[in-house]
């Protein structure tokens, strides 16, 4: 009895679906230069002016608030004898976290040879600098005497043996922020050099060309220059990578080295780092989706870029959700009534609205990113990134305020309500961030031209008929 071979299903013979290119539109090297330089050489759009006016207005409001509270003292905040940290430290930790995605995308993904980073790394690096600038405002104000901030620097002085208190979290924050800002600024500027030379060589008349000529440091584009550039860029990436893990770890130590229930935990360093990357990726997605639409960068920020960033954001969101659950588990497993009370108070106390907003925005909503059709819907991704930004701000608020407002003695319990000065200072920090970002988009290439050109597919790969024509 002969047995016939079982036919394979038709679907098994189908080729895998083609992978979309990183850069769409069959771009040439000259086309990349033209597309990215065009927004810099054209007149600003009305939408850009409207955005700049709104951001500058928020910045002006923040400047007025900061000047007022420096003149009057930090007593204008809503702090009291129980809640010694409020909006100021919440905003500081929030902005430091926003800045983490820039170093992650630029340095870490570069070392792992992730080619999709090339379309978003420039904006992410700039976002890092602006976010760290916003973060640096709040420790200075919290000093009470910001005009003495230079005392932080270890410089020769006439104070004899009198030095700053190196055990103070404010000192740790100063060194963390300054180191992070300097290395990030150097990394960002070094990556700009080939693009500045490209703008210089376009001979566009005006002050911008002369400035680019100076800042490009005599870049020639020779093989020797590229070799040295890539070597130094790799070294800077290796130097910047530890900052992703060290800076927010130091920020977490502001809390973890205390004996306050809800803070004194060893999970804070990895928890804070994952949360910082999570919030930073959400902000990068928010900004790049806006830039993609308003600056006509659809061919450079494609579905592959958004999909990769969504997957990375989803993984960080899962880690953050695991940290939330771990905190609750360890509080009850430890048997410490004070730890247990803190977490029960977070979930069911006066600030339970902030806690459940945090959980919904950071844990529940990002789970829809498991669906490929959601990751392919840019409008949905934009809304999710907004919710994540909101949730991560509430996370920092919950950690700080709910661990303080009800301490060991019920007789010293006190609520906390931010004043209008604190709220306008927060608005002003967003104004500073978006003002700097809009000016960056106007005067500096928002896409790294040199790196994008390195991931363009050859014409023979884009057009198979070209291979057959060459063979003929």
Alpha carbon distances (Å) from 406 to 6, 84, 410, 464: 72, 12, 7, 69
Q: What is the pLDDT of residue 163?
A: 77
Q: What is the DSSP string of 55-66?
A: HHHHHHHHHHHH
3-state secondary structure of 265: coil
3-state secondary structure 65-124: HHHHHHHHCHHHCCCCCCCCCCHHHHHHHHHHHHCHHHHHHHHHHHHCCCHHHHHCHHHH
Report the C-alpha gap between 215 and 189 in whole angstroms: 9
Do 254 and 172 meet the contact criterion of CB atoms below 8 Å apart?
yes
**CATH level 3 topology of 39-145+165-453:** Formate dehydrogenase/DMSO reductase fold (1.20.1630)
374: Cβ contacts below 8 Å, ≥ 6 apart? 368, 380, 381, 384
Q: So where are the chain's domains?
A: 39-145+165-453
**Sign of torsion over alpha carbons 335, 337, 338, 343:** positive
Do 279 and 312 meet the contact criterion of CB atoms below 8 Å apart?
no
3-state secondary structure of 155: coil
Do 369 and 362 meet the contact criterion of CB atoms below 8 Å apart?
no
Q: What is the pLDDT of residue 467?
A: 40
Report the C-alpha gap between 90 and 398 in whole angstroms: 9
Do 57 and 438 meet the contact criterion of CB atoms below 8 Å apart?
no
Report the C-alpha gap between 230 and 191 in whole angstroms: 10
Report the C-alpha gap between 61 and 319 in whole angstroms: 37
Label residue 36 exposed, middle or buried (CB < 10 Å: 0-12, 13-18, 19+): buried
Q: What is the pLDDT of residue 145?
A: 83
Do 437 and 98 meet the contact criterion of CB atoms below 8 Å apart?
no
Q: What is the pLDDT of residue 468?
A: 36
Q: Considering only CA atoms, which of 168, 180, 137 is closest in space to residue 429?
A: 137
Report the C-alpha gap between 66 and 70 in whole angstroms: 6
Long-range contacts, 60-63 (Cβ 8 Å, 24+): 60/428, 60/431, 61/424, 61/427, 61/428, 61/431, 62/424, 62/425, 62/427, 62/428, 62/429, 62/431, 62/432, 63/428
Q: What is the pLDDT of residue 7?
A: 57
Do 38 and 417 meet the contact criterion of CB atoms below 8 Å apart?
no
The Cβ of residue 409 has, within 10 Å, a number of other Cβ atoms equal to: 8
Label residue 423 exposed, middle or buried (CB < 10 Å: 0-12, 13-18, 19+): middle
200 membership: H or E segment, kind and range:
helix 169-201
The Cβ of residue 131 has, within 10 Å, a number of other Cβ atoms equal to: 29
Q: Considering only CA atoms, which of 34, 132, 86 is closest in space to residue 453?
A: 34
Do 137 and 298 meet the contact criterion of CB atoms below 8 Å apart?
no
| pTM of model > 0.85 | yes
Report the C-alpha gap between 54 and 435 in whole angstroms: 9
192 membership: H or E segment, kind and range:
helix 169-201
Q: What is the pLDDT of residue 357?
A: 96
pLDDT per residue as tens, the chain (472 positions): 444 555 555 555 666 666 777 787 788 888 888 888 888 888 888 888 999 999 999 999 999 999 999 999 888 998 888 888 888 889 999 999 898 878 888 888 888 888 888 888 898 999 999 999 999 888 888 887 888 888 887 777 777 777 777 888 778 888 888 888 998 899 999 999 999 998 888 866 677 778 888 889 889 888 999 999 999 999 989 888 888 888 888 889 889 888 888 898 889 999 999 999 999 999 999 999 988 888 888 888 988 899 999 999 999 999 999 999 999 999 999 888 999 999 999 999 899 999 999 999 999 999 999 999 999 999 999 999 999 999 999 999 999 999 899 888 888 888 899 999 999 999 999 999 999 999 998 888 899 888 888 888 654 444 444 343 333 3
């Amino acid at each position: 009895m002969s047995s016939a071979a079982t036919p394979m299903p038709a679907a098994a013979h189908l080729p895998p679906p083609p992978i979309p290119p990183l850069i769409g539109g069959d771009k040439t090297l000259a086309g990349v230069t033209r597309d990215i330089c065009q927004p810099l050489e054209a007149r600003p759009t009305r939408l850009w002016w409207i955005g700049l006016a709104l951001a500058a207005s928020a910045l002006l409001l923040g400047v007025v608030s900061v000047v007022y509270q420096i003149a009057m003292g930090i007593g204008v905040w809503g702090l009291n004898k129980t809640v010694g940290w409020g909006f100021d430290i919440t905003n500081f930790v929030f902005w430091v976290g926003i800045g983490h995605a820039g170093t992650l995308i630029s340095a870490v993904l570069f070392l792992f040879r992730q080619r999709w980073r090339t379309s978003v790394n420039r904006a992410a690096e700039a976002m890092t600098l602006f976010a760290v600038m916003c973060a640096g405002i709040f420790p200075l104000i919290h000093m009470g005497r910001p005009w003495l901030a230079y005392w932080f620097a270890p410089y020769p002085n006439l104070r004899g043996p009198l030095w700053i208190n190196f055990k103070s979290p404010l000192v740790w924050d100063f060194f963390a922020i300054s180191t992070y800002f300097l290395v990030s600024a150097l990394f960002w500027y070094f990556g700009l050099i080939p693009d500045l030379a490209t703008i210089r060589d376009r001979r566009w008349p005006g002050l911008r060309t002369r400035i680019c000529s100076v800042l490009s440091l005599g870049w020639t584009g020779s093989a020797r220059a590229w070799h040295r550039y890539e070597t130094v860029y790799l070294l800077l990436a290796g130097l910047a990578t530890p900052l992703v893990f060290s800076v927010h770890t130091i920020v977490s130590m502001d809390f973890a080295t205390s004996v306050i229930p809800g803070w004194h935990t060893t999970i804070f360093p990895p928890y804070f780092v994952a949360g910082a990357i999570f919030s930073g990726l959400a902000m990068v997605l928010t900004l790049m989706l806006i830039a993609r639409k308003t600056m006509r960068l659809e061919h450079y920020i494609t579905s592959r870029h958004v999909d990769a960033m969504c997957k990375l954001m989803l993984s960080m969101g899962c880690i953050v959700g695991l940290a939330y659950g771990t905190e609750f588990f360890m509080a009850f497993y430890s048997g410490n009534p004070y730890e247990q009370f803190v977490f029960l108070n977070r979930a069911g106390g006066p600030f339970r609205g902030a806690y459940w907003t945090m959980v919904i925005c950071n844990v529940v909503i990002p789970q829809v990113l498991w669906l490929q059709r959601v990751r392919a819907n840019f409008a949905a991704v934009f809304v999710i990134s907004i919710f994540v930004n909101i949730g991560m701000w509430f996370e920092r608020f919950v950690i700080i305020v709910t661990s303080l407002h009800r301490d060991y003695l019920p007789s010293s319990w006190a609520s906390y309500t931010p004043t209008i000065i604190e709220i306008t200072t927060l608005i002003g920090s967003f104004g500073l961030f978006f003002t700097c970002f809009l000016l960056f988009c106007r005067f500096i290439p928002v896409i790294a031209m040199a790196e994008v050109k390195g991931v363009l597919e050859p014409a023979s790969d884009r057009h198979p008929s070209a291979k057959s024509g060459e063979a003929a």
